[in-house]
Chains A and B, each alone.
Chain A
């Protein structure tokens, strides 16, 4: 059985037939070849697959493609389409908020979600907001600094 879905990703509408069990992360990566979204676990712990679904940060491995029917998704490829980094990306670059880069797309969307809700978070609030996104390289400290820098730059 296949389901018809219509999903807008990074501003462009895609109409596709998908398996009912297809996860949104697999739709993005395998069906649309948007491989910037990463898979780091199979238990929804790591947050590497975090994207925006209708403006809300979600782990795209916890969401069926069918659930996103009619929705708008933003992936990491949609943040700097012309090569001009957005303020959160700039802040992660300036503050060395990434090393291997694998968790980074998810971290950027988790940061986006935090700053939407709280434009001037404390370090404690930042650490709490990022507890669902795992990084094995940075020890998180420069990620916290990146989020602070992004907030200071008025990013959301």
Chain B
């Protein structure tokens, strides 16, 4: 890689190799579990084996006497030291009932995995051995695990604060829904279970806390997506002032939402270090991760759509029971409400919507953001019921979509839920996808195949997502207990090399590369001369973290603005040094020059040197070449796309073969297409996982039956086709670089795309719905049962198109 000479091709838009990879490829990257401090102790946490139980007594005597054990603590020991774990998204107008969430359970455990006690020992093995010696006398109580059942009369009650287990009831409404349903020719309905999922970042969660009693300072290495939020919340819970708290997100091995919240183990680890005055490390096992780190989805959805007989959608009405788990996790209430309900109308012109969302406490692991967070659940509902409509009115599902899409717009479109989408060309993406797969040809192939007893299915799905969270004023208005701006510092050193410091915290998404590309593109330095620093509250400026596809959309915007400030200062200094008017200074290809005299120029490296030595600065200009920006976006960004899946279902076994998957995504201009494609691959596959394989299963008594990777089926390499990745480019009108987000897009679209394809394949069998995941057993059973109203036609192709 070149060191100082800018490449002739524009670096913005170039699929260059990632700067972060060499350390990851050589085992020299340091994740939380890899760090060991002098005098370090190891914590092991005893977790509830019951879904719901009263704790009568806890006896830690035998554990304390075990070899190597330094201490054992229970909830009683945290009294007056640790506050309860706060929920940070207090959705307004929802009668929110926040039940206190203790870091260590005191009198009642409410889910399998709820933390009950902790042992600290000289080695991890000794801690694990000793934790088994703790005697807890439990009085088991009835549990409730299904969000729809939990609100019914007679269901076991989790919290006195929340009668009928209802944590909140939130409503979104726009337009005249009753009128829409009154004048409809057709009303189609569906009941959808968005099964509970387990995020399964390959690195489990963990923490290493080092408290120094003499100074009252604490350093926390934490597997997190948002170290600055961790510092804020940790300070509130453990009482250490923010100025004495340093949070470091070292290398972080994926998150997908599960590393947003602060979980019990984090607080327990900090507590142990505070009590013992020594470094304490706690690293989850995978089974512990599955029980105690957050889950995702868990919706029961009733949805109905009103439409005309020629396929014009008039209205949408839904009721959702959203499982919250036993406690409200950090961002949980915002996910099935703000990030879900406001996106109900998707990319379509729908004049009336209404949704009631019940957030429900159940005896299960707390639910949090999981890749897509609310938007996959909204997209699925909408895209599924459009297929039901198409089936009902006998018009091709692609055609029904086309008849309802919002026409292209480049600077704002108001939708019925009150949002203003920034830009979109939905028909552009849709047509591109259909053309790429030869949709009409596929339909013919499907009809031919059916004649031969082969069952091909074609699924299409559109999506538009709200991301780039978001304007802080909106964050406050919707109850988010923080801001959603980002900051960036660009600092040029005398030799012309630069450091970039950002408050967001990437953990696999590649911003050490793409952000260097932003600076390189603006100023003509080499990508390899720009080093991006993140993940340490002591060295980086404030930021709210990496989630919601917001890092490039918000943090990247902050960086672009900071870089342009550098450019402005460089122009001023150039004009001074070249004794030319600043209005006459131009910039191109890494050079600041006098207009019309390209030889009279300074490079950014010249300027960096002159600004840092400061021998000859203009009157009033400060030395140094550094800029800081705090960037609060004026709106969210709204990426979108169209996906198509082709499947074949084996009628003998119910086995689904995913034959093709095509993704057309529009995230605006792409800084690094290779990284964009990688995000699409990963996102699509996670969504396919939900459609076909993944489900967290609880027994009625609250036992997690899918408690390990042996029982919970994440996608493997051998069960997937290559994803065909295409894109369109519709810039955001308000982002300084026009870019949107891409991290969650694939997941938002792919679950319903694959599901629609499978149901399409089973049309001859009269199958209208199957509960996800679509295992061969369920598919085969559905084929046998059918759900046909008028008798299955085993040969007839779909009409239209």
Contact = CB atoms under 8 A, between A and B. Distances in A.
Contacts of B509: 99
B718 interface: yes
Interface string B192-224: 000000001111100000000000000000000
A104 interface: yes
Given A100-B252, A135-B202, A136-B202, A79 B678 contact: no
A65 B519 CA distance: 48
Given A45-B708, A139-B720, A143-B717, A101 B28 contact: no
A43 B508 contact: no
A144 to B, nearest CB: 7
A139 B710 contact: no
Q: In the complex, which of the residues A34, A37, A102 has the most CB atoms of chain B within 10 Å of its own CB atom?
A: A102
Interface-central residue, A94, A101, A127, by most chain B CB under 10 Å: A101
A26 to B, nearest CB: 8
A142 B26 contact: no
Contacts of A60: none
Contacts of A104: 24-25
Interface string A89-103: 100111010111111
Given A19-B125, A76-B26, A93-B21, A45 B709 contact: yes
Interface in B548-580: none
B106 to A, nearest CB: 29
B725 to A, nearest CB: 9
A102 B283 CA distance: 15
Interface string A12-48: 0000000100000010011001111111111101101
Contact of A36 (B27, B709, B714, B716): B27
B75 interface: no
A39 B204 CA distance: 9
Interface string B712-748: 0011111010110000000000000000000000000
B795 interface: no
Given A100-B252, A102-B254, A142-B678, A45 B25 contact: no
A40 B203 contact: yes
Given A100-B254, A100-B507, A138-B678, A45 B710 contact: yes
B689 to A, nearest CB: 9
A131 B718 contact: yes
B33 interface: yes
A62 to B, nearest CB: 13
A100 B25 contact: no
Nearest to B26: A80
A104 B33 CA distance: 16
Contacts of A29: 34
A80 to B, nearest CB: 5
A134 interface: yes
B202 A42 contact: no
Given A36-B27, A36-B28, A101-B253, A96 B285 contact: no
Contact of A101 (B125, B200, B508, B723): B508
A102 B202 contact: yes
A131 B717 contact: yes
A89 to B, nearest CB: 4
Contacts of B686: 136, 139
A98 B27 contact: no
Contact of B25 (A38, A40, A85, A134): A85
A123 interface: yes
A134 B27 contact: no
A133 B717 contact: yes
A96 B507 contact: no
A136 to B, nearest CB: 5
B724 to A, nearest CB: 10
Contact of A130 (B508, B674, B717): B717
Interface string B122-153: 00110000000000000000000000000000
A153 interface: no
B682 interface: yes
B510 interface: yes
Chain A interface category by residue count: 35 or more
A110 to B, nearest CB: 10
A98 B24 contact: yes
A94 B718 CA distance: 22
B29 interface: yes
B202 A100 contact: yes
Contacts of B677: 96, 142
A77 interface: yes
Interface string A61-89: 00000000000000111011001010001
B36 interface: yes
A8 B402 CA distance: 65
Contacts of B252: 100
Contact of B681 (A83, A94, A142): A142
Nearest to B709: A45
B131 to A, nearest CB: 15
B710 A138 contact: no
Interface string B11-29: 0000001101111111111
A130 B24 contact: no
Interface string A116-145: 000000010011101101111111111110
A40 B678 contact: no
Given A93-B17, A99-B508, A139 B682 contact: yes
B494 to A, nearest CB: 27
A139 B507 contact: no
A103 B31 CA distance: 12
A100 B259 CA distance: 13
A26 B30 CA distance: 16
B287 interface: yes
Nearest to A75: B27
A22 to B, nearest CB: 8
A41 B717 contact: no
Contact of A139 (B18, B21, B202, B681): B681
Contacts of A46: 202, 286, 709
B143 to A, nearest CB: 25
Interface string B287-313: 100000000000000000000000000
Contact of A96 (B125, B674, B723): B674
B27 A42 contact: no
Contacts of A93: 17-18, 21-22, 25
Interface in B93-140: 124-125
A41 B25 contact: no
A108 interface: yes
A85 B26 contact: yes
B422 interface: no
Given A100-B254, A134-B714, A144-B717, A92 B709 contact: no
B458 interface: no
B466 interface: no
B209 to A, nearest CB: 19
B382 interface: no
Contacts of B256: 136
B38 to A, nearest CB: 13
Contact of B716 (A83, A96, A105, A131): A131
B377 interface: no
30 contacts: A37-B27, A40-B204, A40-B286, A41-B286, A43-B286, A45-B709, A76-B26, A85-B22, A92-B21, A93-B18, A94-B17, A99-B254, A99-B678, A100-B201, A100-B253, A100-B254, A100-B507, A101-B23, A101-B29, A101-B251, A127-B718, A130-B716, A130-B718, A133-B717, A137-B254, A138-B678, A139-B684, A139-B715, A140-B717, A144-B722
Given A85-B22, A139-B681, 16 more contacts: A35-B34, A37-B27, A46-B709, A83-B26, A99-B510, A99-B682, A100-B24, A100-B254, A101-B21, A101-B251, A102-B31, A108-B25, A130-B716, A134-B714, A137-B202, A141-B722
Q: Closest 3 interchain pairs by CB?
A: A36-B27, A101-B24, A100-B508
